[in-house]
Amino acid sequence: MRLLALDGGNSRLTAAVLENGVWQGGDGLPTSEVEAVGGGVERLIRSVLTACESGPIEGAVACLVRPGLTGVVSSAVQAVLGLPLSRVGHELRPEIEIRYRPVAGCGRDRVLGAWKAREEFGAPVIVVDFGTATTFDVVSADGAFIGGAIAPGVSVAAEALFRAAPRLPRIAPRAPLTALGSDTEHGLASGIYGGYRHLVDGLVGQLIDELGGEPTVVATGGWSELMAPACTRIRHHRPHLLLEAMAQLFAEAAP
C-alpha cells in the first residue's frame, strides 16, 4: 500500500509517503502558512508525490494538532488525490486508556506516540518528543497513558534567548566539541545543547523514580536527530514514530 501521511504539529505540517515499508518525502511547511494559504498544502502534497516513486496513493491519514488545519488539509487531499482524509482522534482512535485530566487537554499526537511506543516496546514506556515543545509522555506498567511533562522545545528556547537578549546572536542549535565555550556562539551552542541534554536525562530520571519499574525510553521528533545520541537515558530513536503510528492505525481500520 502507498499511504500519504500528514503530521500537523504546533509549528509545522509534514507530509510523507509510505511505500514498501519505507517513508519517502518528509517535506513540510510552517503551519502559519497552511492556515493562511490553503493552496500551499496542495503544493506540498504534489511535491512529495513527485519526489517519490510512481504509483497510485491508496489512502491518506493525518494527525492534526491545530484545529485550523483540519478543513484546509482535508480539502487539499481531496483536490489532489480524490480521497477522503482519515484523521487521528476522529475516524481513527488508538486503543489506550487515558488518565490525563481533562482528557481533551491532552494532544492527540502525544497519545498517538505513547500508544505506538507501547505497541512496539511494551509497558511501561516513556516517549520524549523533541518538537516545538519537548514532551515527555508516560505509559504506566498496566498500559495506560498517565501524563508526563512539557518543556520548551530546543529551537523555541534558542529563539527566546535571542529575542530577550539583543546582544546575543541567533544560532542554530548544534553539538559543540566542548562544553567550555571559547566565544559567544560556542557558549550559546554549549548552553543550549548541554542544557537540553541534562534537562532530558534529569527529567526522565525523575519520571522513572516516580513511575517505578524499568520503562523503555524512546525519542522522536524533529530535534531528536541532534539530541537523542547525547541523552544517556534514551534507548531507542524512532524519528518517524508518529508516521508509523498513523500507518498502523490506518491499516488496522481498513476493511
Active site residues: 109
How far apart, in whole angstroms, are the C-alpha atoms of residue 57 and residue 37? 24
CA dihedral 227, 137, 35, 24 (to 10 degrees): 60
Contact 144, 95 (CB under 8 A): no
Amino acid letter, residue 108 = R
- Grid cell, residue 180, equals 567550555
Amino acid letter, residue 135 = T
Q: What is the DSSP string of 117-147?
A: HHHHH-SSEEEEEESSEEEEEEE-TTS-EEE
